[in-house]
Amino acid sequence: MDFQAGILRDGNAMDSLEKQLICPICLEMFSKPVVILPCQHNLCRKCANDVFQAANPYWQSRGSVISGGRFRCPSCRHEVLLDRHGVYGLQRNLLVENIIDIYKQECSRPLKKGEHPMCKEHEDERINIYCVTCEVPTCSMCKVFGAHKDCEVAPLQSVFQGQKTELNNCISMLVAGNDRIQTIISQLEDSCRSTEENSEAAKQELCARFDALVALLEEKKSELLQRISHEQGDKTSFIQGLICQYKEQLEKSSRLVETAIQAMEETGGATFLMNAKQLINTIVEASKGGRLGKIESGYENMDAFSVSLDHLTEAVRALDFEPAEEDEEYFDGEEEEVEEDAVPERMGMASL
């Protein structure tokens, strides 16, 4: 334990260790209990359960009749099959939990002398209060004799805790937004794949139907295939455009999250408050960004291009040799009826 604590007291080691203790889902330090996947990556059990529930909506609880479900590691994308216990059947990583406890104990120790920021105007005075009017940390001498003597001030620690809580809430808001964006991107990618698959299925069905007809329908077949391809191109281009827009927004939000996390690593109240307000305002403004477009439900369907040719097939099968002389009068009337039925059928094909 003393050896581990010695390592943790090193600043660079602390920074490196904290990065290893960040959950890839919530982007915060692991919250116990921590579970370890078969691929050896760690997750908060709550975060892992949220991902598992989203991927397996019919799995309700450990007492569910559903036998299990699939789980994809967010770090390496390795997919594993979980039993009926879900993520509760995964082994806890007690070593990581112990390291987290030691890390938090080391971080709770007060700063050493000389690490506290000093006032620029009064070099011998430590920054120990916060000017609420000017929204900057300052020292007691500035309040008594200096530029902030007529300003409203507050204890540094109370403002420090308040703004750190506010920044933490902003980070949570960004992370939640990023999760929603990632979900939308996945749905858009699935919709794009479904559109392509449905388009191919519609083409194959159309080809199968037209191949059974005479050469007279070949021109119409090509025309309908071209329309499906055009619709497919329009839809996939629109969806791909949305994907690019969401990815750009996700990238911007991720950069803000990284900046905010780095700010959260600052343990000094005064140093933190130097940039906290501006960072919070930046995050709030980014969160107010314009809303991106979405696709309507069923947008990927290509059902409108499904064509039934059964009636045309029956009309073709009804064709036969010319009748005998004594039957001409009977078949002449029947052929006229067939021709009258065929005319609206051709008109119906043309309207497609």
| pLDDT-above-70 percentage for the chain | 78
Q: Longest C-alpha distance within the chain, in Å?
A: 127
Segment among 54-68, 111-125, 143-157, 266-280 with least mean pLDDT: 54-68
Of 279, 66, 80, the closest CA to residue 171 belongs to 279
Of 236, 234, 251, 244, the closest CA to residue 185 belongs to 244
Write the pLDDT tens digit of every residue in 69-84. Answer: 788 888 888 888 887 8
- Residues 70 and 56: their CA atoms lie apart, in Å, by 7
pLDDT of residue 13: 60
Segment among 155-159, 184-188, 248-252 with least mean pLDDT: 155-159
- Residues 127 and 119: their CA atoms lie apart, in Å, by 6
Q: Buried b vs exposed e over 8-33: b needs ≥16 C-beta within 10 Å? A: beeeeebeebbeebebebbbbebeee
Q: How far is Cα of residue 33 from the mean position of the Cα atoms in its chain?
A: 25
Write the pLDDT tens digit of every residue in 300-314. Answer: 888 888 888 788 778
pLDDT of residue 294: 82
Torsion angles phi and psi, residue 223, rounded to 5: -65, -45
Amino acid at 296: E
Segment among 14-18, 193-197, 266-270 with least mean pLDDT: 14-18
| pLDDT tier, 289 (very low <50, low <70, confident <90, very high otherwise) | low
Are 75 and 11 in contact by the 8 Å Cβ rule? The answer is no
pTM tops 0.85, yes or no? no
pLDDT of residue 339: 54
- Residues 267 and 273: their CA atoms lie apart, in Å, by 10
Is the confidence at residue 143, as pLDDT, over 80?
no
Provide the token pair at 141.
């001498």
| pLDDT-above-90 percentage for the chain | 4
- Residues 176 and 47: their CA atoms lie apart, in Å, by 12
Element (H, E) at 346: helix 328-351
Element (H, E) at 232: helix 218-264
List CB contacts of 50: < 8 A, sequence separation 6 or more: 25
Q: State how beta strands 136-138 and 129-131 pair.
A: antiparallel
Is the confidence at residue 352, as pLDDT, over 50?
no
Write the pLDDT tens digit of every residue in 21-33. Answer: 888 888 888 887 7
pLDDT of residue 274: 83
Provide the token pair at 128.
């120990």
Higher-confidence residue of 61 and 94: namely 94
The separation between the first and the last C-alpha atoms of the chain, rounded to the nearest angstrom, is 77
pLDDT of residue 108: 67
Q: Coil, strand or helix: which one is 26?
A: coil
pLDDT of residue 335: 55
Write the pLDDT tens digit of every residue in 188-210. Answer: 999 999 999 988 988 888 788 76
Q: Coil, strand or helix: which one is 82?
A: strand
- Residues 74 and 227: their CA atoms lie apart, in Å, by 40
- Tell me the mean pLDDT in the region 172-185: 86
Of 308, 262, 291, 302, the closest CA to residue 167 belongs to 262
In angstroms, what CA-CA distances link 244 with 184, 232, 255?
12, 18, 17
- Residues 163 and 275: their CA atoms lie apart, in Å, by 11
- Tell me the mean pLDDT in the region 38-61: 80
DSSP one-letter string for 238-295: HHHHHHHHHHHHHHHHHHHHHHHHHHHT---HHHHHHHHHHHHHHHHHHHTPPPPP-P
Q: Which residue has the tokens 């409203």?
A: 152
**Among the ranges 64-68, 124-128, 285-289, which has the highest mean pLDDT value?**
124-128
